[in-house]
A = this chain, B = another copy of it.
């Protein structure tokens, strides 16, 4: 259990690290950010920073010496880095969940082993296996690299006429899996937290809209049946327990409406999640504070909502709306301190919390 004044080490220096550092500061904790980037959003709000590669063991060792616990803002922390650090200071969430979520094949097998539904899938390590997978799952289906995909990168939809060897090469020729297309009507997520002693808390299930594979808006709570919402939280609880998880995580789900409502797990994010940004203004405890509490070994905070919440991402040039958003009554603006508004880049977000539930 950390005491106030202790230092949280954070791998990664982007907006999630920035918001984690801000949440830690509220609680009297210092942050030390480790990232290879020369200029990172989190550097402006932390007590210390290390600019080095994740493979630089001398820098990692000094970092581990300087902090009390280590966490991260992205699931692609190299396994060697996580293991190296974990031998020196607690890494939370642990390296085990990183291994499970860095590989889509292992992730889906893990989820299915808990009796939770995922899209149908088949291993596609090479073009020959891909042809057999297509024969099994049919078309349309989605070819995804097993590792390092995010925001729609490393995936391609296989339509009736798609040439399979061209498709396989187009995602880089790396080991891949084929997934069936889930006929979903809504995309949902559960942002939940698990404490060091197993305490579990979830925010209300939210409803997400993606545009060009990037999250555009989140609404909390989702318009779904109470039993479906309870089932979503139960799925998160099962996953958290099976992974012996510590920290905040998100489970992305598809809602299928065929003779009622059914949930299909899409993926697990072992970190604070964009669909939880509304909690900064819409809940008693933000997801960032919740994560800090968990990795510090502290009790979790209340996940009560203040009202109905809407989060809208500011992507690329959207950030130019800041002037107008500042004038909108009740708009809570968050900007990440990034200087260059490249297309597809998350520059900030805005939360609206209405009084009615």
Contact = CB atoms under 8 A, between A and B. Distances in A.
Interface string A315-349: 00001001000110110111111010000000010
A217 to B, nearest CB: 19
Interface stretch (A23-31, A74-82, A90-98): A23-31
A337 B30 contact: yes
A178 interface: no
A293 B328 CA distance: 13
The count of identical subunits is 2
A239 to B, nearest CB: 25
Interface residues of A, number: 43
A353 B31 CA distance: 27
A214 to B, nearest CB: 20
A44 interface: yes
Nearest to A293: B326
Given A27-B335, A44-B30, A326 B304 contact: no
Interface string A1-18: 000110000000000001
Contacts of A306: 306-307, 353
Contacts of A21: 45
A22 interface: yes
Given A284-B332, A332-B285, A18 B25 contact: yes
Given A18-B25, A25-B45, A28-B348, 9 more contacts: A5-B337, A22-B25, A25-B44, A31-B44, A43-B47, A44-B47, A45-B47, A293-B326, A304-B330
